Amino acid sequence: MSQEIRFHDAHAPWNQESRQDPSNWNDDVIAEFRANAGQVGGDYVGYPLILLTTTGARSGAPRVVPLAPNCRGDRLYLSSFREDRDPDWLSNIRAHPAVTIEIGTETRQGTATILAGAEYDEFADWVRRNNRLLAEFQATLDRPVPLVTIYFAQPRNPE
């Protein structure tokens, strides 16, 4: 990314007030993502996004959320900047680890794994060294930031 991003940046999209109903505030972003091959405008121009589809922990219904992906080699990881509790998508993954990821125009099936123990510690150390945004956020919390990795069902086909 060409611009410096800080989680507490007053101009960041996630810190803007919205007049949309909070239960569906992602709907416009999801529709724009799908209509424009993964490109999203407005406040999210220049921010890479993916769409994560999980299965609702209680409802069993598909739930889609746009997220900013991070990569370590060919490994995709996701986290959350929610201060008060874990995001709903994390609860869904605990109950149903099979997920769908949309990256641009590509849709891939995968399995989400919530990292724990030594694997969490090693990966979290790498994340803190390579993602200042997440490191700064972690420093404000008394609990570990959740880290999830996605293992894809099959390797990407070269184009």
Q: Biggest alpha carbon distance in the chain?
A: 44
The single-letter code of the amino acid at 61 is A
Query: Comparing C-alpha atoms, which of 23, 51, 22 is closest to residue 35?
Result: 51
Distance CA 38, CA 117 (A): 34
Are 7 and 133 in contact, with CB atoms under 8 Å apart?
yes
Query: Comparing C-alpha atoms, which of 55, 69, 46, 152 is closest to residue 107?
Result: 152
Distance CA 72, CA 159 (A): 21
What does the pLDDT profile of the chain (159 residues) look like in tens digits? 334 444 455 555 555 555 555 556 688 889 999 999 999 887 778 878 999 999 999 999 999 999 988 888 878 888 877 767 788 999 999 999 999 999 999 999 999 999 999 998 998 888 888 878 778 877 888 888 888 999 997 655 555
- The residue extents of the domains of the chain are 13-152
Fold of the domain built from segment(s) 13-152? Pnp Oxidase; Chain A (2.30.110)
Query: Comparing C-alpha atoms, which of 77, 117, 101 is closest to residue 156?
Result: 101
Q: How far is CA 85 from the centre of its chain?
A: 15
Alpha-carbon torsion (110, 111, 114, 119), positive or negative: negative
DSSP E strands, 21-125: 50-55, 62-67, 70-72, 75-79, 98-103, 106-114
Model pTM?
0.78
